[in-house]
Structure 1
Amino acid sequence: MAMDHVTTLECTICEREYDPDQIIYTCPEHEGVKGILEVKYDYDVIDDNFDADLDGDIQSQWKYEAFLPVDDDAEVVTLNEGGTDLFDAPNLSEELGVETLVKDDGRNPTGCFKDRASSIAVTKAKHAGRDIITCASTGNAAASLSGYAARGGLDCRIFVPGAAPAGKLAQPLVYGADVLAVNGSYDEAYDLSVEVTDEYGWYNRNAAINPFQVEGKRTVGHELAEQSVVRGEVPDWVVFSMGDGCTIAGAWKGFKEFYDLGYVDDYPKMLGVQAEGASAIHDAFQGHEDIDDIADTIADSIAVGRPRNTIKACRAPQESGGDTVLVSDEDILEAEKLLGTTEGIYAEPAGATPVAGVQEALEQGIIERDETVVVVSTGFGLKDTESAKKATGDVNRIEAELSEVEALFGDAQAAAADD
C-alpha cells in the first residue's frame, strides 16, 4: 500500500495527528464527533505526479487522481462522476442583474454532487477489506452511496429520517441497499449510524466525519479552477448551499490548492447559503451567540440542525474573503422555478438555494452588479417532485377539445398570427 502524497490526518481542534492508513473518523480527544480530522498532503509529490493538461477536457473527477487520498494499488470504484459542465446562463443573468454561470452537478451518475465523495468512500472501504458500508442521509448521500456500493460489490445499509422524500428513498432501494427510515430527525439518524459503526465495524461514509469524503468533494474546486483557466477568467464568487458544511469546505480546498500550486492565478470569494430554518453554520460564521440546532426547511438536503463540519465550512468564506447569507423556503422555491424557466436546469430545492443566495447577497450589497458569479447546483430536481409542485403549481387539466385550448391561449394565438 502507498499513499505517499498523504502525510497525516490532523485534528481541526487540537492539531493532534493520526496515521492516514488506519480507519479513524474523529479525534478521540474530544467528546462526540467534534474532533473532525483534516487530510494533509505533500504537495511536492502531488505536483510531480499530476501531469494532466488543464484544457477543460474532464471526463471524470479521476483526472485529479494525483490529489485524491487513495492507495496506488486500490481498485477505483467509479461511475464517471464529476466533469460536470459550467454553463453560461444569459437568461438567468438578465433576471438576476449580475453575470451568472451555473455548474450543474445534478448531472452526476446518481443525480447529485455527493457522487464525488461516494466514489472515494467505496474505493477506500473495498481496499480496506470492508464488506458493509453505511451512512446517514437526508436522501442524496443515501442514494449516491447505494449506487456506488452496488458498483463496488459491497452491502449498503443506510439511515434516513422518516420524512425524507419518497423519490430519494426509492432510488437506494433500486440499488439494493437496506434503507432504514428512522422515526426522527436527520441528526438522530446520524447518531444511530455512528453508533452502529462503533458497534459493528461497518465502514462509515458520512462526509461530516469521514475525513476522506471532503477530499472527493474538493474535485469540484479543481474543476472550477481548470474551467476558469480555459475561460481565461476566475469568477469573483462561487456560491454553494450548506448543510453539514462539507461541500463548500471541499470546494474551497480544491480551488485554493490549484491557486497555491500556480495552476490558476486567482481564486474566488466563497458564498455559503443556508435556509432560515437550518442556519447553524451561518450563525457560527456571523458570530451569533445563540446558534439554533433546529432544522426545518423544504430543502431537505441541507436540513441539518447540528452540522459536524462547521469549522471547515467557515474557513471557506473566511479565507476567501467571502460571506454567508440566509434565505427563506419561499425564496428557495422561487429560485427553483427561476433556474428552470430561464436556463432549463431542473434542480432540487438545495440545488436552487445558491440562486436565492445570489439574490439575497445582491440585495445586501455583498455581491456587486459588475461581478461574475458561479452558482453550483448540487442535486437534480426529479429527486423531490413534491417541492417542484409547490414551486410551480399543478398542470392545466382540459377536455380533448380545441375549444379548451382556445380558452387558454386564444388571445395569444391571435396576436401571434397578426405578427
Structure 2
Amino acid sequence: MAMNHVTALECTICGKEYDPDQIIYTCSEHEDVKGILEVKYDYDIIHDNFNVDLDGDIRSQWKYESFLPVHDDAVPVTLNEGGTDLFDAPNLSDELGVTILVKDDGRNPTGCFKDRASSIAVTKAKHAGRDIITCASTGNAAASLSGYAARGGLDCRIFVPGDAPAGKLAQPLVYGADVLAVNGSYDEAYDLSVTVTDEYGWYNRNAAINPFQVEGKRTVGHELAEQSRVRGEIPDWFVFSMGDGCTIAGAWKGFREFYDLDYVEDTPKMLGVQAEGASAIHDTFHDHDDVDEIANTLADSIAVGRPRNIIKACRALEESGGTSVTVTDEEILKAEKLLGSSEGIYSEPAGATPVAGVRKCLEEGIIESDETVVVTSTGFGLKDTESAKQATSDVQHIDPDLSEVQKLYGNAEAMATDD
C-alpha cells in the first residue's frame, strides 16, 4: 500500500504540513475550517509513472491515474467520468465574434462536472474502510456523490438547502441516498454537514474542504492540455463559472502541471465568472470592500455565499494572468438559450454562465476578437428545467388541424412559389 507520489497536505494559509495518508480536512491552526489544504506531489515520480500517449484518446479521467492522489492498491470507483469532448462552436463563434470551443462536461455520467471529484471521494472512502459518505450540495454534488456511492457500495447521506431544484434531488433519491433538505441556505447545509462529520465520523466529500476533491477536478485541466496539444494550439482563455472556487483552481493546477512537465508549450489565461448575486471570489480578487456573504442567484450550482476555496481560485486567476467578471441572472439565461440554440448544447444556468462572461469580456475589451476561448459547461440542462423555461418562450398550443400550422407559417404552396 503506497501513495509515494503524494508528499504532503499543506495549509494554504500558514504552510503547515500534514501526513496525506490520514483523513483530515482542514488545518488545525485556523478556526471555522478556513485552513484549506493543498495536495503536494513529487512530480519526478509522477513523470516516471505516466506512461501514456498524449494522443487525444481519453476514455476517462483515470488515464491520468499517475497524477491522482490514490494508493497503488486502491480500486477506482468509476463510471468512466471525464474524457468529455472539446467541440468547435462555429455558430456560437459567429454570434459572439470570437473563436469559441466548448468543453461539455454535462456529458459526465450523472450529468455534471462534479463526477470527476466524486469518483476520487468514493475511491478514497472505500479504500479507507469507511462505509458512509456525506456532503452538502446545492444539487449537483448530491446527485454525483450518490451515484458513485451506489457504484461503490457505500451508504450516502446528503444535506441540501430547502430550495434546491426538484430535478436535482430526484437523482440522489433514485441512487438510494438519504436526502436531508435543510431549512436554510447552502452555507447552513454545509455547516451542518461538517458538524455531522465530526460527530459521526462519516467521510466528507465536500470539495470545499476535502483536499482530494480538487485533485479530481484538475483532470479537466489535464484533458484540456492534451486536447489543445493534439489541436496544435493553446487557446488564449479558459473560462469557468465559479461558486466555491475549486473548479477553476483544479483546472489551472492540472494544466499548469502539464506545462511544468513540458507536455505543452504554453498556458492559457483563466477567466472566472460569477453571478452578481454570489460574487465573493470576484470581489476578493478585485479588492472590493463590500464582500456579500449572502448568495442570491438562480444559478444554484454557483450560489455560494461563503466560498472556502477563495485562496486557490484567486491564485489560479493571478498566476495565469487572468481575471474575473460578474454577470446578471438575465445574462445567464440569455447565454443558456444562446448556447442551446446555436450549438445544440443544453446547459444548466451555471454551465452557461461562462458564455455570458465571454460576451461581457468582449464588450469590455478584456477578450480580443482575434483570441481563442474555451468555455466549460459544467452541468446538463435537465438538471434545472424551471430556469430553462425562464430562458425560452412558451410552448405554442394548437388544434390538430392544418390551418393552425398555416396561421403560423403561411400556406405551403404560396411559400414554394415565392422560393
What TM-score comes out, normalization by structure 2 length? 0.99
Aligned to 2:312: 312
Report the Cα distance in structure 1 between the residues aligned to 2:17 and 2:405, rounded to whole angstroms.
69
Report the Cα distance in structure 1 between the residues aligned to 2:415 and 2:255, rounded to whole angstroms.
51
Aligned to 2:300: 300
Aligned to 2:157: 157
Aligned to 1:107: 107
Q: Supply the AA of the counterpart residue of 2:380.
A: F
1:70-109 alignment to 2 at 5 Å?
Answer: 70-109=70-109
Report the Cα distance in structure 1 between the residues aligned to 2:110 and 2:416, rounded to whole angstroms.
42
Aligned to 2:224: 224
Q: Supply the AA of the counterpart residue of 2:274.
A: Q
1:15-414 alignment to 2 at 5 Å?
Answer: 15-410=15-410, 414=414
Distance 1:394 1:92, change over 3 A: same
- Secondary structure at the counterpart of residue 47 of structure 1: helix
Report the Cα distance in structure 2 between the residues aligned to 1:119 and 1:344, rounded to whole angstroms.
28
Report the Cα distance in structure 1 between the residues aligned to 2:94 and 2:72, rounded to whole angstroms.
47
- Secondary structure at the counterpart of residue 330 of structure 2: helix
Distance 1:416 1:294, change over 3 A: farther
Report the Cα distance in structure 1 between the residues aligned to 2:100 and 2:263, rounded to whole angstroms.
23
Q: In the TM superposition, what is the alpha-carbon distance from 1:415 to its structure 2 partner? A: 3.5
Q: In the TM superposition, what is the alpha-carbon distance from 1:167 to its structure 2 partner? A: 0.4
Q: In the TM superposition, what is the alpha-carbon distance from 1:418 to its structure 2 partner? A: 2.6
Q: In the TM superposition, what is the alpha-carbon distance from 1:75 to its structure 2 partner? A: 1.1
Report the Cα distance in structure 2 between the residues aligned to 1:51 and 1:414, rounded to whole angstroms.
65
In the comparison of the two structures, how many residue pairs are matched?
A: 419
Report the Cα distance in structure 2 between the residues aligned to 1:394 and 1:54, rounded to whole angstroms.
46
Q: In the TM superposition, what is the alpha-carbon distance from 1:131 to its structure 2 partner? A: 0.5
Distance 1:410 1:69, change over 3 A: same
Aligned to 1:8: 8
Q: In the TM superposition, what is the alpha-carbon distance from 1:393 to its structure 2 partner? A: 2.3
Q: Supply the AA of the counterpart residue of 2:362.
A: L
Q: In the TM superposition, what is the alpha-carbon distance from 1:412 to its structure 2 partner? A: 8.0
Give the superposed CA RMSD.
Answer: 0.9
What TM-score comes out, normalization by structure 1 length? 0.99
Report the Cα distance in structure 2 between the residues aligned to 1:230 and 1:408, rounded to whole angstroms.
47
Distance 1:415 1:149, change over 3 A: same
Report the Cα distance in structure 2 between the residues aligned to 1:184 and 1:241, rounded to whole angstroms.
24
Report the Cα distance in structure 1 between the residues aligned to 2:410 and 2:335, rounded to whole angstroms.
30
Distance 1:211 1:416, change over 3 A: farther
Q: In the TM superposition, what is the alpha-carbon distance from 1:228 to its structure 2 partner? A: 0.5
Structure 1 stretches of 5 or more lacking a match?
none
Report the Cα distance in structure 2 between the residues aligned to 1:23 and 1:249, rounded to whole angstroms.
22
CA deviations over 1:208-256 (Å, ceiling 9, x no partner): 0000000000000000000001000000000000000010000000000
CA deviations over 1:270-312 (Å, ceiling 9, x no partner): 0000000000000000011121111000100000000000000
Q: In the TM superposition, what is the alpha-carbon distance from 1:70 to its structure 2 partner? A: 0.1
Q: In the TM superposition, what is the alpha-carbon distance from 1:96 to its structure 2 partner? A: 0.5
- Secondary structure at the counterpart of residue 31 of structure 1: coil
Report the Cα distance in structure 2 between the residues aligned to 1:203 and 1:142, rounded to whole angstroms.
14
Percent sequence identity is 84
Report the Cα distance in structure 1 between the residues aligned to 2:354 and 2:107, rounded to whole angstroms.
17
Q: In the TM superposition, what is the alpha-carbon distance from 1:414 to its structure 2 partner? A: 3.8
Report the Cα distance in structure 2 between the residues aligned to 1:108 and 1:154, rounded to whole angstroms.
21
Distance 1:413 1:321, change over 3 A: farther
- Secondary structure at the counterpart of residue 129 of structure 1: coil
